[in-house]
Structure 1
Amino acid sequence: MARVQAPDGGVMTANPTRVGADPRLKIIRPAPPPARRACAECVQLGTPWVHLRQCLTCGLVGCCDSSPLRHARAHAATTGHVIARSIEPGENWRWCYVDEQFV
Protein backbone atom coordinates (compact mmCIF):
# COMPACT_ATOMS: atom_id res chain seq x y z
CA MET A 1 0.00 0.00 0.00
CA ALA A 2 1.23 3.47 -0.86
CA ARG A 3 0.54 6.49 1.32
CA VAL A 4 -0.83 9.39 -0.70
CA GLN A 5 -1.30 13.02 0.35
CA ALA A 6 -5.03 13.74 0.15
CA PRO A 7 -6.31 17.06 -1.23
CA ASP A 8 -8.02 17.71 2.10
CA GLY A 9 -4.63 17.59 3.85
CA GLY A 10 -4.86 14.07 5.26
CA VAL A 11 -3.04 10.93 4.19
CA MET A 12 -4.78 8.10 2.35
CA THR A 13 -3.57 4.69 1.34
CA ALA A 14 -3.74 3.58 -2.24
CA ASN A 15 -3.18 0.10 -3.53
CA PRO A 16 -1.21 0.63 -6.76
CA THR A 17 -2.29 -2.73 -8.14
CA ARG A 18 -5.94 -1.70 -7.92
CA VAL A 19 -5.78 1.97 -8.86
CA GLY A 20 -7.48 2.38 -12.22
CA ALA A 21 -8.75 -1.21 -12.16
CA ASP A 22 -11.97 -0.57 -10.24
CA PRO A 23 -14.83 -2.47 -11.92
CA ARG A 24 -17.16 0.36 -10.85
CA LEU A 25 -15.53 2.62 -13.45
CA LYS A 26 -18.20 1.44 -15.91
CA ILE A 27 -20.77 3.61 -14.08
CA ILE A 28 -18.91 6.79 -15.02
CA ARG A 29 -20.82 9.02 -17.44
CA PRO A 30 -19.67 12.23 -19.14
CA ALA A 31 -20.11 14.93 -16.52
CA PRO A 32 -19.88 18.49 -17.79
CA PRO A 33 -18.27 21.07 -15.52
CA PRO A 34 -20.85 22.12 -12.94
CA ALA A 35 -22.77 25.30 -13.66
CA ARG A 36 -22.50 26.31 -10.00
CA ARG A 37 -19.54 25.72 -7.68
CA ALA A 38 -21.53 25.04 -4.53
CA CYS A 39 -22.96 22.16 -2.55
CA ALA A 40 -26.69 22.65 -3.13
CA GLU A 41 -27.61 20.83 0.09
CA CYS A 42 -25.25 23.00 2.16
CA VAL A 43 -26.66 26.13 0.51
CA GLN A 44 -30.21 25.00 1.33
CA LEU A 45 -29.27 24.21 4.96
CA GLY A 46 -27.06 27.26 5.41
CA THR A 47 -24.04 25.15 6.38
CA PRO A 48 -20.42 25.63 5.25
CA TRP A 49 -18.36 23.26 3.14
CA VAL A 50 -14.62 22.79 2.67
CA HIS A 51 -14.13 21.32 -0.83
CA LEU A 52 -16.46 20.12 -3.57
CA ARG A 53 -16.79 16.77 -5.36
CA GLN A 54 -18.79 15.94 -8.49
CA CYS A 55 -20.54 12.61 -8.97
CA LEU A 56 -19.32 11.01 -12.19
CA THR A 57 -22.58 9.16 -12.73
CA CYS A 58 -25.16 11.97 -12.45
CA GLY A 59 -23.10 15.17 -12.09
CA LEU A 60 -24.37 16.16 -8.63
CA VAL A 61 -22.00 18.43 -6.71
CA GLY A 62 -21.59 17.72 -3.01
CA CYS A 63 -19.24 18.67 -0.21
CA CYS A 64 -16.19 16.58 0.72
CA ASP A 65 -15.47 14.40 3.75
CA SER A 66 -13.74 17.30 5.51
CA SER A 67 -16.99 19.26 5.37
CA PRO A 68 -19.39 19.01 8.31
CA LEU A 69 -22.18 17.15 6.47
CA ARG A 70 -20.22 15.13 3.86
CA HIS A 71 -22.95 15.33 1.21
CA ALA A 72 -20.87 13.75 -1.60
CA ARG A 73 -20.31 10.61 0.49
CA ALA A 74 -23.99 10.52 1.52
CA HIS A 75 -24.99 10.77 -2.16
CA ALA A 76 -22.70 7.82 -3.00
CA ALA A 77 -24.17 5.74 -0.17
CA THR A 78 -27.81 6.38 -1.08
CA THR A 79 -27.55 6.17 -4.87
CA GLY A 80 -24.73 3.73 -5.57
CA HIS A 81 -22.95 6.47 -7.56
CA VAL A 82 -19.63 5.72 -5.91
CA ILE A 83 -17.08 7.47 -8.15
CA ALA A 84 -16.57 11.22 -7.71
CA ARG A 85 -14.00 13.73 -8.87
CA SER A 86 -12.60 16.82 -7.28
CA ILE A 87 -13.75 20.06 -8.85
CA GLU A 88 -11.22 22.12 -6.93
CA PRO A 89 -8.96 24.31 -9.09
CA GLY A 90 -5.74 22.52 -10.04
CA GLU A 91 -6.94 19.08 -8.92
CA ASN A 92 -7.51 16.21 -11.33
CA TRP A 93 -8.37 13.01 -9.49
CA ARG A 94 -11.25 10.57 -8.94
CA TRP A 95 -12.20 8.71 -5.76
CA CYS A 96 -14.12 5.48 -5.18
CA TYR A 97 -16.13 5.63 -1.96
CA VAL A 98 -16.51 1.84 -1.82
CA ASP A 99 -12.81 0.99 -2.16
CA GLU A 100 -11.67 4.16 -0.36
CA GLN A 101 -9.00 4.83 -2.98
CA PHE A 102 -8.14 6.92 -6.00
CA VAL A 103 -9.19 5.49 -9.39
Structure 2
Amino acid sequence: MTLSIDGTELSARGSLNGQAPRCEHVDISPGAERGLPQCGGCLVLGLSWTRLLVCLTCGWVACSDDSPGTHAREHYRETDHPVVAALAPETAWRWCYVHERTV
Protein backbone atom coordinates (compact mmCIF):
# COMPACT_ATOMS: atom_id res chain seq x y z
CA MET A 1 0.00 0.00 0.00
CA THR A 2 1.35 3.42 -0.95
CA LEU A 3 0.36 6.46 1.09
CA SER A 4 0.48 10.10 0.11
CA ILE A 5 1.87 12.83 2.36
CA ASP A 6 -1.51 13.29 4.06
CA GLY A 7 -1.82 9.51 4.70
CA THR A 8 -4.44 8.81 2.03
CA GLU A 9 -4.00 5.55 0.15
CA LEU A 10 -2.95 6.47 -3.39
CA SER A 11 -4.62 3.48 -5.03
CA ALA A 12 -7.96 4.84 -3.86
CA ARG A 13 -7.27 8.21 -5.53
CA GLY A 14 -5.82 7.03 -8.82
CA SER A 15 -2.39 6.46 -10.23
CA LEU A 16 0.74 8.28 -9.14
CA ASN A 17 0.59 10.66 -12.10
CA GLY A 18 -2.90 11.86 -11.13
CA GLN A 19 -4.83 10.02 -13.83
CA ALA A 20 -8.05 8.21 -12.97
CA PRO A 21 -7.95 4.43 -12.56
CA ARG A 22 -8.66 2.30 -15.64
CA CYS A 23 -12.35 1.96 -16.50
CA GLU A 24 -13.42 -1.69 -16.27
CA HIS A 25 -16.38 -1.00 -18.58
CA VAL A 26 -14.03 -0.85 -21.57
CA ASP A 27 -13.07 -4.48 -20.91
CA ILE A 28 -16.67 -5.76 -20.96
CA SER A 29 -17.62 -4.01 -24.21
CA PRO A 30 -17.80 -6.69 -26.92
CA GLY A 31 -17.14 -4.37 -29.86
CA ALA A 32 -20.43 -4.86 -31.68
CA GLU A 33 -20.84 -4.20 -35.39
CA ARG A 34 -21.71 -0.56 -36.05
CA GLY A 35 -25.04 0.60 -37.38
CA LEU A 36 -25.61 3.08 -40.20
CA PRO A 37 -23.74 6.42 -39.90
CA GLN A 38 -26.83 8.41 -38.92
CA CYS A 39 -28.87 9.20 -35.83
CA GLY A 40 -32.29 7.59 -36.26
CA GLY A 41 -33.78 9.70 -33.47
CA CYS A 42 -32.68 12.94 -35.12
CA LEU A 43 -33.95 11.81 -38.51
CA VAL A 44 -37.42 11.14 -37.06
CA LEU A 45 -37.49 14.54 -35.32
CA GLY A 46 -35.99 16.49 -38.23
CA LEU A 47 -32.91 17.49 -36.21
CA SER A 48 -29.32 17.63 -37.35
CA TRP A 49 -26.47 16.23 -35.27
CA THR A 50 -23.03 17.60 -34.45
CA ARG A 51 -21.21 14.31 -33.92
CA LEU A 52 -22.15 10.63 -34.03
CA LEU A 53 -21.27 8.04 -31.39
CA VAL A 54 -21.47 4.26 -31.52
CA CYS A 55 -22.44 2.09 -28.54
CA LEU A 56 -19.64 -0.42 -27.99
CA THR A 57 -22.07 -2.93 -26.48
CA CYS A 58 -24.65 -3.20 -29.26
CA GLY A 59 -23.43 -1.01 -32.16
CA TRP A 60 -26.29 1.53 -31.94
CA VAL A 61 -25.34 4.83 -33.59
CA ALA A 62 -26.73 8.06 -32.17
CA CYS A 63 -25.91 11.74 -31.75
CA SER A 64 -23.61 13.10 -29.05
CA ASP A 65 -24.38 15.37 -26.10
CA ASP A 66 -23.36 18.43 -28.13
CA SER A 67 -26.18 17.67 -30.59
CA PRO A 68 -29.77 18.84 -29.94
CA GLY A 69 -31.17 15.32 -29.48
CA THR A 70 -28.50 13.81 -27.18
CA HIS A 71 -29.72 10.40 -28.36
CA ALA A 72 -26.54 8.48 -27.40
CA ARG A 73 -27.06 9.47 -23.74
CA GLU A 74 -30.75 8.57 -24.06
CA HIS A 75 -29.67 5.12 -25.33
CA TYR A 76 -27.42 4.72 -22.25
CA ARG A 77 -30.30 5.65 -19.92
CA GLU A 78 -32.57 3.10 -21.58
CA THR A 79 -30.08 0.23 -21.83
CA ASP A 80 -27.26 0.82 -19.30
CA HIS A 81 -24.73 0.20 -22.08
CA PRO A 82 -21.81 2.10 -20.55
CA VAL A 83 -19.27 2.97 -23.28
CA VAL A 84 -19.55 4.79 -26.60
CA ALA A 85 -16.90 5.68 -29.17
CA ALA A 86 -16.69 8.40 -31.77
CA LEU A 87 -17.98 7.06 -35.06
CA ALA A 88 -15.25 8.89 -36.98
CA PRO A 89 -12.61 6.30 -37.95
CA GLU A 90 -9.65 8.64 -37.39
CA THR A 91 -10.20 8.90 -33.61
CA ALA A 92 -9.89 6.47 -30.71
CA TRP A 93 -12.00 8.66 -28.35
CA ARG A 94 -14.33 6.71 -26.02
CA TRP A 95 -16.66 7.85 -23.24
CA CYS A 96 -17.94 5.95 -20.21
CA TYR A 97 -21.36 7.19 -19.07
CA VAL A 98 -21.00 5.42 -15.71
CA HIS A 99 -17.77 7.26 -14.80
CA GLU A 100 -18.66 10.38 -16.84
CA ARG A 101 -15.19 10.55 -18.40
CA THR A 102 -13.13 9.60 -21.42
CA VAL A 103 -11.58 6.15 -21.31
Which range, TM-score by smaller chain? 0.7 to 0.9
RMSD: 1.6
> 11, 17, 20: which one pairs with 1:17?
20
**Aligned residues of 2:34 and 2:60 also touching (Cα < 8 A):** no
Q: Percent identity?
A: 38
Query: Structure 1 residue 17: deviation in Å?
Result: 3.0
Matches of 1:78 and 1:31, distance apart in 2: 18
Post-superposition Cα deviations, 1:40-91, rounded to whole Å, max 9, x if no partner, equal 1111221111000000001000100100010001111111001000012421
**Aligned residues of 2:52 and 2:87 also touching (Cα < 8 A):** yes
More RCO (CA 8 Å, sep 6+): 1
Query: Structure 1 residue 92: deviation in Å?
Result: 1.3
**Structure of greater Rg:** 2
4+ aligned runs moved over 6 Å, structure 1: none
Secondary structure of 1:41's counterpart equals helix
1:101 is aligned with what amino acid?
R
Give the number of equivalent residue pairs.
86
Which consecutive unaligned segments of at least 5 residues does structure 1 have?
1-14
Which consecutive unaligned segments of at least 5 residues does structure 2 have?
1-17
2:94 is aligned with what amino acid?
R
Which residues in structure 2 correspond to 1:8-87 (within 5 Å)?
Answer: 16-18=19-21, 21-34=22-35, 36-87=36-87
Q: What is the TM-score when the length of structure 2 is the normalising length?
A: 0.74
Matches of 2:89 and 2:26, distance apart in 1: 23
**Aligned residues of 1:27 and 1:81 also touching (Cα < 8 A):** no
